[in-house]
Structure formats: structure tokens, C-alpha cells
Structure 1
């Protein structure tokens, strides 16, 4: 195998790890939203924290590759890596929206119930 082929294989493996972390985060985000619907904010928050850890792990993998290019190293283009970045960005946005929605749900519940919901 040539050096270029080895680089592409390594980048593809890294990309798959990013996608797996992002996918796990997405699953946890969707599950957290289900718990929000049930007003189980504690469990929802746990899942969003877990999702955040996967997002951070995926972001660290992305950063390794981006920093190589920033240092002037030749980085092989990979459509799979571009897809992994897109997936990560989308899941991060979903996480941000879920966090905001949970705050909104809590406030609505506080107003309806006339009591403070544990944050």
C-alpha cells in the first residue's frame, strides 16, 4: 500500500469514528427529547450530558485533521471525512436546540404547576 492509500485509510477510519460518536449523540438527544415529553428532566439532562461527551470526542477527532492542514501538512481529501464533519455539525445543532427546548419545557411546566422545576 502506498503512503497516500495508508493516509486515506487512516482518515476514513477516523471519519467512521466521528460518525459513530455523532450517531450515538443523536440517539441520546432524541431519547432525551422523549424524556422531556414525559417531564423527566433529570433523565433528559443525563442523556444530553452523555451526548455532549460523544460530540466532544467527535470534535477532537475532527480537530486533529484540521490542525494538520493548518500546520501546512498535505491532507488527503475524503468525501467520508466531509460527511463526518457535516454529521457532527448537524448533531451539534440538534444538541443546542434540544438544550434550549428543555429550558422552554421546564419554564412552561413551572408556569402551569406554579412551582420551580429542578434544573
Structure 2
């Protein structure tokens, strides 16, 4: 069973990745409106959130790599999945922004 700290870490990854996803979706809308400056700002906010989530995940993985027992958790698996999916969406949106900006020039 997951202890309170592990639960909190998993939930924090989900929250940060979820916030990042909201910024990515906002950036997509802004790209659709050809508002590239605002889209870049939204992607910057998303990147900050993703970095926070990734740092938490990395810390947990490093514990296990050091031999510290980390129990299996469906919630942590969900957190990692959420982070991975949002990271992919972020990378795709960042690429789309470059494509749309290049088309305008």
C-alpha cells in the first residue's frame, strides 16, 4: 500500500501534468487564431508545469535506483501515463507552432 508521501507525490504529478495539459490546449487554440506570441507563452507555462512533474517522477525513480523500496502503485502508474501523454502533446504543439509560424513568413 502506498504511504502518504507517495500518494502526495503521485497526486502532485497528476496535478502538474493536468495543468500543463490545460496550457497546451490553450496554446492549440491560440495557434488556431494565429496568436503565436500568446501560444508561445502558454507553452512556456506548460513547460514549467511539466518540469515540476518530471522532477517529482525522477526523484521517485532515483529512490528505487538507489535500492530504496518503492511499492507498486496504480496511482503512480496513472501519474506517469498522464505526464507522458501531456509531454507528447506539448512536443507536438511546440512543433505545430513552428510550422504555422513558418507558413506566415
- Report how many residues are paired: 105
- TM-score, reference length from structure 2: 0.96
Aligned to 1:9: 4
Q: Which of 4, 16, 21 matches 1:21?
A: 16
SS class of match (2:77): helix
Aligned to 1:115: none
After TM superposition, where is structure 1 displaced by more than 6 Å over at least 4 residues in a row? none
Aligned to 1:113: none
1:9 positional shift: 2.2
Structure 2 alignment gaps of length 5 or more? none
Contact kept in structure 2, 1:19 and 1:88, CA below 8 Å? yes
1:95 positional shift: 0.4
Give the Cα separation in 2 of the matches to 1:105 and 1:84: 31
Aligned to 1:86: 81
Aligned to 1:37: 32
Structure 1 alignment gaps of length 5 or more? 111-119
